[in-house]
Structure 1
Amino acid sequence: MSTESIFQTHLVLGYVAWLLCFGAYILPWLTSIDRVRAHRAIAALHSFRFFGFVFLLPGVVGPNLPASFATFAAYGDLAAGLLAMLALLTVRIRQVFWLFVVGFNLVGMGDLILDYYHAIQAGLPARAGELGAAYAIPIIYVPLLMITHVFAFYLLLRPQPKAIQALAGETAVP
């Protein structure tokens, strides 16, 4: 089996495994709590995206990892992670919190989509060994990030009853 086939199989199975886990455990929990708490949980997960900066660390990734992929992925992840941290820090200032929630989801999802594009353009699936120790990021972590971005947008775009909107603005954050 080729390197490209193994990488693509791993990527697809990463999505399948996370969709099963998300549907069975995470989705029921996120839908049982209010929107602010759900977005805080998603932001907490995404706040660890600073780890994507490892794509620029020699010795962790191979010397031939395409820079067209690595640089964009590293800085995109860093930006999304910092925006997620800012959302967590501003949860008590609701208008600012929502601004950062929208920001980290737009930047984060855009980053992932562009990372897929850059990876394909650079032929990364056939050179997946160049990811070195960072191989787990696109296989294990990225599918969960993408799934949670999609769910975050669902929560953001879903209409809220007026009574819930009023309560959400008045309640204190636990």
Structure 2
Amino acid sequence: METVEIFGIQFILSVIVFALIARWYVTPWLSEKTLQVALAILILPHAFRHIGLTFLTPAVVSDAMPSSFAIAAGYGDFASGLLAILALVALHRNWGPAIGLVWIFSIVGSVDLLNALRQVEAVPHFGAAWYIPTFLVPLLIVTHVMVFVRLVRRSQPANKSIQSHSASAHHAQ
């Protein structure tokens, strides 16, 4: 098997496993939490994105690592991690702009991951940093999706069935 094929298999299987964990265990558990608490829990793994600076470490990645990938992935993860920490603090302290900061963090963090994933030419050069895109990135993708789902649901009007139930209950009185 080629290196890129092995990478693809490991990446896809990690996404599937994290998605199953999210669907079966994390989502039901988070549904019992407030929006702020659920978002904070989902953002926690992103607070460790400073680990992406590893791509800038010659002793860890191959000397042939494209600098365009290493710089974008390393600093993109670092910036995303700092935004995650800022969003966590804002959620914990219940600051007014907390939800806006979560949006900014999740958009910037998602764009960073998508940018890194499109640069398949870097795969053979990951060296000891191989675990980042094959294990951590799938976790980050799944939690980004879960954050976006909560943010979008928060901004949507109430469900029609709830509205119709409320209307029928009001008429019954």
Shared fold, TM over 0.5: yes
User: In the aligned structure 2, how far is the partner of 1:124 from the partner of 1:72?
Assistant: 12
Shift of residue 29, structure 1, vs aligned partner: 1.4
**Where does residue 45 of structure 1 map in the other structure?**
45
**Where does residue 116 of structure 1 map in the other structure?**
117
- 1:121-140 equivalences under 5 Å are 123-125=121-123, 127=124, 130-140=125-135
User: In the aligned structure 1, how far is the partner of 2:145 from the partner of 2:49?
Assistant: 17
The answer for unaligned runs of 5 or more in structure 1 is: 162-174
- 1:59-74 equivalences under 5 Å are 59-74=59-74
User: In the aligned structure 1, how far is the partner of 2:43 from the partner of 2:22?
Assistant: 16
**Where does residue 161 of structure 2 map in the other structure?**
none
Instruction: Give the letter for the 2:39 counterpart.
Output: H
User: In the aligned structure 1, how far is the partner of 2:21 from the partner of 2:94?
Assistant: 32
The residue matched to 1:95 in structure 2 has which SS?
coil
Cα RMSD (Å) of the superposition?
1.4
Which consecutive segments of 4 or more residues in structure 1 shift more than 3 A? none
Shift of residue 112, structure 1, vs aligned partner: 0.6
User: In the aligned structure 2, how far is the partner of 1:42 from the partner of 1:31?
Assistant: 12
Moved more, 8-17 or 93-102: 93-102
**Where does residue 98 of structure 1 map in the other structure?**
99
* TM-score after normalising by structure 2: 0.84
The answer for unaligned runs of 5 or more in structure 2 is: 159-173
* TM-score after normalising by structure 1: 0.83
The residue matched to 2:96 in structure 1 has which SS?
helix
User: In the aligned structure 2, how far is the partner of 1:42 from the partner of 1:94?
Assistant: 18
User: In the aligned structure 1, how far is the partner of 2:30 from the partner of 2:70?
Assistant: 32
Q: State how many pairs are aligned.
A: 155
**Where does residue 6 of structure 1 map in the other structure?**
6
CA contact (8 A) 2:42 2:146 kept: no
